[in-house]
Amino acid sequence: MSAIHHHHDHPRRREANKDRAALEEQLSMAGENVRRGIEHVRKQREKVQWLERGGRDAAQDRKVLDTAEDSLLLHMSDRDRLLKELEGIA
């Protein structure tokens, strides 16, 4: 009986391992998106500040910054969701 029960559990474990591996891959990509987003926001903020210090019109660059910040928040939310999902599998 134990061998039969073990036989049924094995495919589930294999499937859980595949799910975990897929989530870990997604989490890695999400983390990279967050890192790139942070860098993009930092550079765009510097550009806006530079333009404003020089008395130039920074309206368009500020829109780009706003969009970059919004995207970063979405990437962070995605990363956090994946972390919670992965914790649920553990």
63 CB-side CA count, 13 A: 3
Give the long-range contacts of residues 69-74, CB within 8 A, separation 24 or more.
69/41, 71/37, 72/34, 72/37, 72/38, 72/40, 72/41
Asked if residues 65 and 45 have their Cβ atoms less than 8 Å apart, the reply is yes
Cα 60 off chain centre by: 26
Question: pLDDT tens across 41-82, in order?
Answer: 999 999 999 999 999 999 999 999 999 999 999 999 999 999
Domain ranges of the chain: 2-89
Q: Look up the pTM and report it.
A: 0.78
Write out the two tokens for 79.
């990363």
